[in-house]
Structures are given as C-alpha cells and as structure tokens.
C-alpha cells in the first residue's frame, strides 16, 4: 500500500511524500525548506531520502538545505553539478542502475527536458507496489510492466494551447517551448496505452499549467481511458 502526499505541484513548486508504511521518501524539493518542514509537520527525520529529477528551481529549491538537515539527496551527476551540490549526503545516480532506500528499490531513467541530465524515477518494494514518476519531459522512451501507481505530468492540452495562441493569449514561442519541455494530456494518453496498466490502482496527474489545462476534463478523460482512480495533484 503506497501513501502519496502532494505538497504542491505547479511551476511555483513541486514536492511529494511517498511512503509504503516502512520507508518515506521525498520526491522533489521545489519549495523553501521551511515550507516543506511545515507541510510535513516537522517530521523530517521520517524522510529516508530525497529524489530530485532536475535542477530547475520548482523541483530542487531546497535540495542543499535538505542535505544540511542530514537527508541524502539522490540525483544525476549533471543535475548535481548544475545545482552546485557536493558532500557526503549527495548520492549521484546513474540512469538504469537500481539502488536501495530502505524498503524501496529505486531506479532513475533518462527523460527528455531542457535540463542538464533529467531523470524519471521507478520505485518498487517487496509488497509488490511499483510506482513510476515522470514529470517535466516531452518524451519517454521506456515502457514499464506491472505498475500499481503512476505519477505523471499532464501540463497542458494541445487543443487548449492552440485556442490560446489563436486568441492572442499565448505567444507562439511559448507554445514551441511548451511542446519541447512538458508532457501533455495527449502524451499521457499515449503513455498509458503503451504501458501495462492492468494492475494500476491510481493515477496522479501532476504539474498542470494554470492557463493551458482543465483539471476536471483531464481527470475525466484519463479515468474513462483507464477505468481506474485518477487524482489531480493540488497546485
């Protein structure tokens, strides 16, 4: 049984607490450290490690402070260098090389984003839970089997983006960057169709854009496609 707590999921900041009842992990640290402390009711000693996908501030803002608090930070070498992280609390991760954090077996995998060396994360435990975490990417080349939980960016819909460009609300250059940096509703559907979702218990839609998304529409369409519980992460 995986418990997922969203501390925030937007361009203002991203962080999630993931626990299987044995080991708690922080996914992303995109808020000031004190904000993360408050959100977790100051129970930071419960956190066995923090996984950082890439160096953009809305995903990594508190990384150095988390290390100073005694919590190991796991990220790619490229991300660590981009953030200027070093020290004995830093754990450099190589893509597709599994490692252990308490009861979890974790593996980073490379994704496409405008960052130094971004990663997605695959987490599994001995209870049979298997979670994939994919955010801030416009393409994922990998397929996953026997997933029970999916946390995936659903930043925008191309239909909404095109309407806003035609209305003059969004500059074409912004559209171009969006298409080359984030997962859309259409990407999410393609990802779900390409992967084994027979055992999926819940899907979390992450990092919805303020202007280019429709939370209820996205939730409904993914639920209709998969027949499983779909949650939209709080922004």
Taking only the tens of pLDDT, the chain with its 235 residues reads 899 999 999 889 999 999 999 999 999 999 999 999 999 999 999 999 999 999 999 999 999 999 999 999 999 999 999 999 999 999 999 999 999 999 999 999 999 887 889 999 999 999 999 999 999 888 899 999 999 999 999 999 999 999 999 999 999 998 988 887 789 999 999 999 999 899 999 999 999 998 999 999 999 999 999 999 999 998 7
pLDDT recorded at residue 181: 79
Place of tokens 């190589």: 94
pLDDT recorded at residue 158: 93
Q: Which two tokens stand for residue 132?
A: 């994939």
Indicate the domain borders of the chain.
3-232
Whether 72 and 155 have beta carbons less than 8 Å apart is answered as no
pTM of the model: 0.95
CATH of domain 3-232: 3.60.15.10
pLDDT recorded at residue 137: 87
DSSP E strand boundaries for 136-176: 149-153
Average pLDDT score, the chain: 95
Helix (H, G, I), strand (E, B) or coil at 207: coil
* Beta-ladder partners of 107: 122
Q: Which long-range contacts (CB under 8 A, 24 or more apart) does 157-160 make?
A: 157/184, 157/185, 157/186, 157/212, 157/213, 157/214, 157/217, 157/218, 158/184, 158/185, 158/186, 160/212, 160/213, 160/214
Task: Give, as one character, the DSSP assignment of residue 65.
Answer: H
């Amino acid at each position: 049984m995986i418990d997922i707590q969203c501390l925030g999921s937007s361009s203002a900041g991203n962080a999630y607490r993931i626990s299987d009842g044995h080991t708690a992990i922080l996914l992303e640290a995109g808020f000031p450290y004190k904000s993360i402390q408050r959100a977790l009711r100051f129970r930071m000693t419960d956190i066995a490690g923090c996984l950082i996908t890439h160096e953009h501030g809305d995903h990594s803002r508190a990384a150095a402070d988390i290390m100073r608090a005694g919590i190991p930070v796991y990220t790619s070498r490229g991300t660590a260098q981009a953030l200027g992280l070093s020290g004995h609390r830093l754990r450099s991760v190589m893509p597709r090389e599994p490692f252990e954090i308490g009861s979890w077996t974790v593996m980073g995998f490379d994704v496409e984003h405008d960052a130094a060396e971004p990663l997605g994360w695959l987490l599994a435990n001995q209870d049979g839970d298997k979670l994939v975490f994919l955010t801030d990417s416009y393409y994922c080349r990998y397929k996953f089997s026997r997933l029970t939980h999916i946390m995936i960016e659903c930043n925008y819909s191309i239909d909404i983006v095109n309407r806003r460009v035609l209305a003059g609300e969004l500059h074409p250059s912004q559209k171009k960057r969006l298409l080359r940096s984030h997962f859309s509703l259409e990407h999410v559907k393609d990802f779900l169709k390409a992967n084994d979702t027979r055992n999926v218990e819940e899907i979390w839609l992450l990092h919805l854009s303020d202007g280019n998304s429709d939370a209820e529409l996205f939730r409904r369409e993914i639920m209709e496609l998969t027949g499983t519980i779909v949650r939209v992460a709080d922004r």
